[in-house]
Amino acid sequence: MKMIKAVLLSFLMTVVIQLSTGLAYAGEVSINNADASTLAAELTGIGKKKAEAIVEYRKLNGKFLSINDLQKVKGISVKTIDKNKENLTL
């Protein structure tokens, strides 16, 4: 019983550390297909308003040709793109 508690406690501590440091896994997100709620939920530094701006930009200008094209959306910085680069797809 003590061993189960120790393993469970270790697992929970790992999850808390990952969440608090931003290292928790986020799934791949297609900036050309994801809706605003998905963008906001899965991307670091992207809230509801920025996610809606991404979708609106895409509607007005067509699909993004590269991940770095996200800079064209007001409020999206290179730093924000870099934080999410591993999870972004076209």
Each residue's pLDDT tens digit, 2-27 = 766 655 556 556 655 555 544 445 57
Asked if the model's pLDDT at residue 74 lies above 60, the reply is yes
Domains of the chain in sequence order: 26-89 (1.10.150.280)
Q: How far apart are CA 42 and CA 5, in angstroms?
A: 31
The pLDDT of residue 1 is 76
Q: How far apart are CA 34 and CA 50, in angstroms?
A: 13
- What's the alpha-carbon Rg for the chain, to the nearest Å? 17
